[in-house]
Amino acid sequence: MKRKLFHRIFSGRWPAYGLLLLLGILLGRVLFHSGGHDNTAGHQHTEAEKVEIWTCSMHPQIRMTEPGKCPICGMDLIPLVPVSAGHADHDAVHLSREAAELANVLTTKVRTGDPAAGEIRLYGRVQLDERLLQSQVSHVSGRIEKLFVNFTGETVAAGQNLAEIYSPELVTAQQELLETAGTRHIQPLLYEASREKLRQLKLTEDQISAIESSGTITSNFVVVSNTSGSVVSRRVSTGDYISRGTVLYDIADLSRVWLILEAYESDLPFINAGQQVKFTVEAVPGTDFSGRVAFVDPLIDPLTRVAGVRVDVNNRSGMLKPGMFTTGILVSEMKEYRDRIVVPKSAVLWTGRRSIVYVKDPVADEPVFSLREVKLGPALKDAFVIIEGLEEGEEIVTRGTFSVDAAAQLEGKPSMMNRTESGGPGEAPGSSDRGGEHDMHAVVLSGGSMSEVKTGLVNQAFARQLTDVMEHYLLLKNALVLDDPAKAGQEAAGLRQALMKVDMNLLTGDDHEKWMDLSRKIAEGLSGLSGSGDMEKQRKGFQFVSDNLYISIKTFGLAGKTVYY
């Protein structure tokens, strides 16, 4: 019975089914086990690729694999924007379209062409026309008996009496004339010599003849003006003893005056004699004056590094007073810069040593921008001429440049303040934007939050001098807080002295030019502080000083001082 059952089981189709089932189980085990292993590995690989990197917005060198606090400043870490794998330039800044729109980033393709006439803004003051300044002198020695013009600023006319002088020398000369007049037929040479002596004392022929005919000796001599104008200085007083040639008054004709403007070396190639200059003065708001360049100083002042530009101005109205501060605008045609690329000023970021723009990648699907250093030509009203660094047809950021640069800084990529290891053209690797001795930092309070701004490497001696300027600035600020105009004027004078002590020769190149411009603007703001008792005018000048000192500190740094703005 058992043998029959065994025979029936193994002699039918069941063995084949069982064998197939066994093989299927074994094959499935092999296939599914291998696939599961591969899937696990792929999953782990994907997870590794999705690891998020966290960084600090103020210290982009910090890299963390999880959120937390910055070990330097304690700020919350933010996720690092990943670099697109499809773009080869890892130094480029990648923005999403939404981020570019929110940051109001606009781009423009650059073109070559003739730059519009460039405006050069110059500052200076009104001065006397030296050709119309005359000294009124005494031609006899003696004592001042009377002055007919008693104060500076008085207007005189040609032929007007200025002073009366008692002169023993003149009395002696008249006596000689009367004595030789009686013997002129016998000794004509002595007679003629006595008349010539009186002529040398500036007596006219009519006066000499009147003395001879009357026989009366005049003891007092009247000095008359030989020009018309205003008295700019009175040199003598009643009772003074004077000698021949002593200057009594300086009289200037103010119907024409000079406008002396200060031009930097970079402006001189565009300034020529004959160019028209339009200028304004604070004393006459809303009125434009004009004149033409008559002379450009051939020498550069070794201290201020500027050259004087003289403009001849008609002043028959008398509205312009010597000593008035002026702001002039000179228009230059810039013919030598034809067929050059011109970009808006908003497209260029200037660090003090180099100028950069952000160029858009023409083939990228999303906004991708690369930093590019450029060489600037002259500045126009709202644009810069580009000497080198850009090609026609390239697309650059013209609005939102700071936003793109901020994104580059957050990602730790080359930006306005962070250079690549290779440095800029012609510079050694690792060079910084500013040469000097020590790395200075400043802390700036902006928008209610504290942010650290790296101001770069500056000369330590210059930073100490700028720190002294900052100390005087804070004293001026305290005086204005107390509404004390007299104290504010004193502190403004102290700040001006500290500013004058800053040695600009400690800086070179673009840093030197930048400080020249900023220090001039600070001094211009102080001019409205030290000599004014009007608090509103002082605060207006203080705001101008603050703006330019803030730029100075961000550009050059301070020596170990923390500043809040």
- How would DSSP label each residue in 326-346? EEEEEEE--GGGTTEEEEEGG
Lowest mean pLDDT among 112-116, 147-151, 265-269: 112-116
Quote the pLDDT of residue 480.
78
Q: Could you give the dihedral angle defined by the CA atoms of residues 143, 148, 150 and 151, in that order, rounded to the nearest 10 degrees? A: -130
pTM (predicted TM-score): 0.48
The pLDDT assigned to 535 comes to: 73
Most confident of 71-80, 173-182, 554-563: 173-182
**Within a 13 Å sphere around the CA of 91, how many CA atoms are in the beta-carbon half?**
12
Q: Is pLDDT above 50 for 43?
A: no
The helix/strand/coil state of 416 is coil
Tell me: the pLDDT tens digits for 321-363? Answer: 999 999 998 887 766 677 788 888 888 988 767 889 999 988 8
| Tokens found for residue 76 | 């919350």
Quick one: pLDDT band at residue 455, thresholds 50, 70, 90? very low
Decide if pLDDT at 260 tops 90. yes
> What pLDDT is recorded for position 64?
78
In degrees, rounded to 5, the angle at the alpha carbon of residue 90 between the alpha carbons of residues 88 and 91 is: 130
For 177-242, the DSSP string reads HHHHHTTTTT-HHHHHHHHHHHHHTT--HHHHHHHHHH-----EEEEE-SS-EEEEEE---TT-EE
pLDDT at 435 over 60: no
Mean pLDDT of the residues in the chain: 77
Report how far residue 159's alpha carbon sits from residue 224's, in angstroms, rounded to the nearest whole number: 5
pLDDT for position 45:
46
Extract the tokens encoding 114. 């003739």
Compute the distance between CA of residue 151 and CA of residue 155 in angstroms, rounded to an integer: 10
Q: What token pair was written down for 498?
A: 């500290």
Percent of the chain residues past pLDDT 90, beyond the cut:
19
What is the dihedral sign for C-alpha 321, 324, 329, 330?
positive
Q: What pLDDT does 446 receive?
A: 30
pLDDT in tens, 266-324: 788 888 888 899 999 988 888 889 999 999 999 988 888 899 999 999 999 889 999 99
The reported pLDDT for the residue numbered 412 is: 74
- Residue 9 in this model has a pLDDT that exceeds 60: no
Short-list 265, 236, 35, CA closest to 136: 236
DSSP letter, residue 77: P
Output DSSP code: residue 19: H
Q: 298-317 burial, b if ≥16 CB within 10 A, otherwise e?
A: eeeeeeeebbbbbbbbebee
Write out pLDDT tens, residues 384-399.
Answer: 888 888 888 899 999 9
pLDDT exceeds 70 at position 95: yes
Distance, in Å, from the CA atom of 82 to the CA atom of 59, rounded to the nearest integer, reads 17
Is a pLDDT exceeding 90 seen at residue 492?
no
Cβ burial of 196 (10 Å; 0-12, 13-18, 19+) is exposed
Rounded Cα distance between 512 and 460, Å, is 15
Coil vs helix vs strand at 313:
strand
The predicted-structure confidence for 395-425, as pLDDT tens digits, reads as follows 999 998 888 888 887 777 888 777 654 444 4
φ/ψ of 478, rounded to 5, equals -65, -40
- Tell me how far CA of residue 156 lies from CA of 127, 146, 322, 504, in angstroms: 20, 16, 18, 46
Do 324 and 363 meet the contact criterion of CB atoms below 8 Å apart?
A: no
* C-alpha–C-alpha distance, residues 266 and 510, integer Å: 11
Q: Is 427 exposed, middle or buried (0-12, 13-18, 19+ CB in 10 A)?
A: middle
Q: Quote the CA–CA distance of 379 and 543 in Å, as a whole number.
A: 25
